[in-house]
């Protein structure tokens, strides 16, 4: 083994350090540090847990000439991400209609294992989705042009080449566009319950008691298959590389190689699919709110605050040792957090910085944070992505045996509807790290600053 090329850096607290010791994620941080061309540190955010190859919560940037790109550094669910929509409504306006709203959302948004979208997509149309991302959805009436303004990278990754996506992946993707998925994916109605930063909250259009919606979903089977296909290819060619890997799942290719460029172009397709998917889910959410509450789009005013991806590799520019440099940042369970003034931000947010969306565990709520200069210089503009699992799915099932999770949630004033009963048991709140603690760590470390906390009032899951 070549040994670690850079140090590892884990953002955590004394309290959370106890959790970290119980899995192999620190070892995975060290493994990532072995990869050629890695810059500064192999990093992990406080929601870190055991992943495949890279830890979840991992951030690593690579030199474009000497560095590598790894499908395992992005994850199976390419461009899994979060979208926050704000409305003109306040909790009092929907309190008595909440059950109807959750029921209608559950009926209108395809959720759950093997769910299929209502759309019949030809392969040539699917390839357009892969090239155009969220703008494909907007052009076909799923949402408004303004939605693209507040989507990370305007909902499209450049360089996508659908011809590099396998038939298997296209096949899986064709049936699933416009579906939420299962597992930890969800759509939640939330209410702003606390504001920490008035200026940023105003810029993001958030105020106390306001009703908002959070969508957590990704690229579905298409993304899993792209990851799997390229991982298999890179495992095959690993022996030919001039370095050894401590874990097969870290299989990678030089960014400057044909194999590296091909993965990046296929990954971009999956990223674009995910953006189109979340755009469609948002459109149906808008329609459902308007119909159920009998309000015009104008009165409802459901507006996209922001959409972030938290499983991605991207070429971005940073200042390293005083010089501007383009690098490839892997964020696997980590969120981009750009500082005030960054040119990639829409005008309305440029003065305050990028909104960062951190969903908590089921029925808890979410945080909105804002990107900082410190993250830009220290973590390649990255921060945490969520609560992070502490219990395995089977442990969670065991812990929830004999309990009615729906009723427990109702006692906490959250209406939950799920396709699969098992999903609710696997996703019980105690299966996750406490999101408040995770967010406090990145806030205190200055990687992003707290803007608002939202509490969940309704939730649909797969």
Distance separating alpha carbons of residues 66 and 253, to the nearest angstrom: 10
**How far apart are alpha carbons 357 and 435 in whole angstroms?**
12
In angstroms, what is the minimal distance from the CB of 315 to another protein?
Answer: 25
Using the contact rule CB under 8 A, the part of the chain among 30-38, 243-251, 334-342, 450-458 near another protein is 243-251
The C-alpha angle with vertex 71 and arms to 68 and 74, in degrees rounded to 5, equals: 100
Q: What is the DSSP string of 46-87?
A: EEEE--SSSPEEEEEEEETTT-EE-GGGT-SSTT-EEEEEEE
CB nearer to another protein: give 113 or 351: 113
Residue from 161, 228, 287, 373 touching another protein (CB under 8 A): that is: 228
**Closest by alpha carbon to 431, among 75, 183, 191, 188?**
183
Does 114 contact another protein by CB under 8 A? yes
Question: In the stretch 401-440, what mask flags binding to another protein with x, by CB under 8 A?
Answer: -------------------x-x------------------
In terms of CB distance, is 270 or 457 closer to another protein? Answer: 270
Counting contacts by CB under 8 A, is residue 224 touching another protein? Answer: yes
CB 247 within 8 A of CB 70: no
For residue 444, state whether it binds another protein (rule: CB under 8 A). no
Residue 52 lies near another protein (rule: CB under 8 A): yes
Residue 395 binding another protein, by CB under 8 A: yes
Q: Minimum CB separation from another protein for residue 37, in Å? A: 22
CB of 246 to another protein, least distance (A): 12
Among 50, 88, 292, 320, binds another protein (CB under 8 A): 50
The answer to whether the beta carbons of residues 439 and 365 sit under 8 Å apart is no
Catalytic-residue membership of 310 = no
Q: Is 49 in the site for another protein (CB under 8 A)?
A: yes
Q: Which of 130, 420, 162 is nearest to 277 (CA)?
A: 130
Closest by Cα among 395, 396, 409, 390 to 461: 409
Within its chain, how far is the Cα of 139 from the centroid? 24
Burial of 400 (0-12, 13-18, 19+ CB in 10 A): buried
Site membership for another protein, residue 393 (CB under 8 A): yes
Taking the least distance from each CB to another protein, the nearer of 49 and 443 is: 49
> Which residues inside 263-302 make contact with another protein, applying CB under 8 A?
none
DSSP 302: -
Q: What whole-number distance in Å separates Cα of residue 234 and Cα of residue 228?
A: 10
Residue in 189, 206, 251, 312 binding another protein, rule: CB under 8 A: 251
Terminal C-alpha separation, the chain: 42
Q: Which stretch binds another protein (CB under 8 A): 193-201, 225-233, 344-352, 353-361?
A: 225-233
Taking CB under 8 A as the rule, does residue 183 contact another protein? Answer: yes
Taking Cα atoms as reference points, which of 145, 158, 285 lies closest to residue 213? 285
Which window, 203-211, 227-235, 278-286, 365-373, contacts another protein (CB under 8 A)? 227-235
Report the C-alpha gap between 425 and 281 in whole angstroms. Answer: 24
If the CB atoms of residues 209 and 392 are measured against another protein, the closer one turns out to be 392
Q: How far is the CB of 2 from another protein (least distance, A)?
A: 20
CB of 200 to another protein, least distance (A): 32
Give the whole-angstrom CA distance, residue 162 versus residue 231: 17
Instruction: Decide: residue 15, CB within 10 A, 0-12 exposed, 13-18 middle, 19+ buried.
Output: exposed
How buried is 294 (Cβ within 10 angstroms: 0-12 exposed, 13-18 middle, 19+ buried)?
exposed
Q: Which of 17, 232, 351, 410 binds another protein (CB under 8 A)?
A: 232
The residue within the footprint of another protein, chosen from 4, 9, 23, 241 (CB under 8 A), is 23
Helix (H) / strand (E) element for 305: namely: strand 303-309
DSSP letter at 142 equals S
Contact call for residue 53 and another protein (CB under 8 A):
yes
Catalytic residue among 185, 385, 413, 443: 385
Q: Is 446 in the site for another protein (CB under 8 A)?
A: no
Which member of 209, 392, 404, 444 binds another protein (CB under 8 A)? 392
Q: How far is the CB of 410 from another protein (least distance, A)?
A: 25
Question: Which of 206, 205, 95, 99 lies closest to 452 in space, CA to CA?
Answer: 206
Q: Of 202, 236, 348, 413, which lies in the binding site for another protein, with binding defined by CB under 8 A?
A: 236
Copy the structure tokens of residue 372.
């900082």
Structure token digits, residue 5? 């090329």
Kindly state the number of chain residues that form the binding site for another protein, as judged by CB under 8 A.
38
Q: Which residues are at the interface with another protein (CB under 8 A)?
A: 23, 49-50, 52-53, 56, 76-77, 113-114, 168, 171-172, 182-183, 221, 224-225, 227-228, 231-232, 235-236, 239, 247-249, 251, 389-395, 420, 422
Residues assigned a catalytic role: 385
């Amino acid at each position: 083994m070549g040994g670690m090329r850079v140090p590892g850096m884990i953002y955590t607290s004394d309290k959370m350090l106890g959790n970290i010791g119980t899995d192999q994620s620190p070892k995975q941080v060290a493994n990532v540090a072995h990869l050629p061309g890695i810059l500064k540190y192999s990093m992990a955010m406080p929601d870190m847990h055991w992943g495949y190859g890279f830890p979840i919560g991992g951030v690593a940037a690579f030199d474009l000439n000497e560095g590598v790109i790894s499908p395992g550094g992005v994850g199976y669910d390419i461009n899994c991400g979060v979208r926050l929509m704000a409305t003109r409504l306040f909790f009092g306006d929907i309190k008595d209609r909440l059950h109807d709203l959750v029921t209608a959302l559950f009926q209108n948004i395809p959720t759950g294992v093997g769910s299929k979208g209502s759309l019949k997509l030809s392969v040539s149309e699917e390839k357009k989705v892969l090239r155009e991302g969220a703008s494909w959805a907007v052009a076909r009436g799923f949402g408004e042009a303004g939605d693209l303004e507040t989507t990370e990278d305007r909902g499209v990754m450049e360089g996508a080449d659908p011809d590099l996506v396998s038939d298997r992946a296209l096949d899986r993707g064709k049936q699933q566009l416009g579906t939420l998925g299962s597992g930890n994916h969800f759509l939640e109605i939330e209410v702003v319950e606390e504001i920490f930063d008035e200026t940023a909250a105003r810029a993001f259009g958030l105020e106390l008691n306001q009703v908002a919606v959070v969508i957590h979903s990704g690229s579905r089977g298409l993304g899993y298959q792209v990851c799997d296909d390229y991982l298999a290819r890179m495992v095959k060619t690993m022996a030919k590389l001039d370095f050894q890997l401590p874990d097969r799942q870290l299989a990678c290719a030089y960014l400057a190689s044909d194999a590296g460029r091909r993965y990046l172009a296929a990954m971009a397709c999956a990223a674009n699919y995910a953006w189109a998917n979340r755009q469609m889910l948002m459109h149906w959410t808008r329609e459902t709110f308007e119909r159920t509450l009998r309000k015009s789009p104008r009165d409802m005013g459901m507006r996209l605050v922001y959409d972030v991806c938290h499983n991605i590799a991207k070429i971005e520019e940073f200042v390293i040792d005083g010089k501007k440099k383009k690098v490839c940042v892997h964020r696997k369970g980590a969120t981009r957090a750009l500082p005030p003034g960054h040119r990639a931000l829409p005008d309305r947010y440029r003065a305050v910085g990028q909104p960062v969306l951190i969903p908590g565990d089921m029925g808890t709520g979410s945080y909105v944070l804002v990107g900082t200069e410190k993250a830009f210089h220290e973590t390649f503009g990255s921060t945490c992505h969520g609560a992070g699992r502490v219990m395995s799915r089977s442990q969670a099932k065991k812990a929830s045996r004999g309990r009615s999770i729906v009723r427990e949630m109702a006692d906490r004033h959250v209406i939950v509807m799920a396709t699969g009963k098992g999903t609710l048991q696997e996703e019980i709140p105690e299966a996750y790290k406490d999101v408040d603690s995770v967010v406090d760590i990145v806030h205190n470390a200055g990687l992003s600053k707290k803007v608002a906390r939202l509490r969940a009032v309704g939730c649909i899951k797969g």
